[in-house]
Amino acid sequence: MKELTSVEDFPATVIHGTYTEPWNQIKTKGLSVMRRNHIHLASGKFGQEGVISGMRKTADVFIYIDIPKALQEDIKFFISENGVILTPGNSQGLLPPHLFLKVEDKKGNNLLL
């Protein structure tokens, strides 16, 4: 089993990449761990410097997380050996929508209206 380390110094950007169809549910319910232990996040978009995992190349919706606000709500974050930022979310296994700093499509259009 790979080791997880608590994140102490956060990157400037923490993003979850997803797709248009799930976004319709995520925008009201939040990001969920679903059947996993953690929600997977990355320190940038796929292909940006240092982003080797945690973001699918085909993602077309990018959810930027408000880390300071999440930490105020006592949400824990970890980093895996391969640089993926992981969170179990809140007590319901969610990162609620009020923790979304911004959301954009692959063309940079704002999806939080």
How many Å apart are CA 9 and CA 32, to the nearest integer?
24
Q: Average of pLDDT values for 95-104?
A: 96
For 30-77, the pLDDT digits (tens) are: 999 998 899 999 886 755 555 555 566 788 999 999 999 999 999 999
Buried b (16+ CB within 10 A) or exposed e, 46-71: beeeebeebbeeebebbbbbbbeebe
**Which class would CATH give 2-105?**
alpha beta
Q: Are 17 and 62 in contact (CB under 8 A)?
A: yes
Residue 111 has pLDDT above 90, yes or no: yes
Two tokens, residue 47? 């292909």
Confidence of residue 1 (pLDDT cuts 50, 70, 90): very low
Residues with Cβ within 8 Å of 59's Cβ and at least 6 positions away in sequence, in order, are 17, 18, 19, 45, 46, 106
DSSP structure class, residue 110:
B
CB atoms within 10 A of CB 30: 20
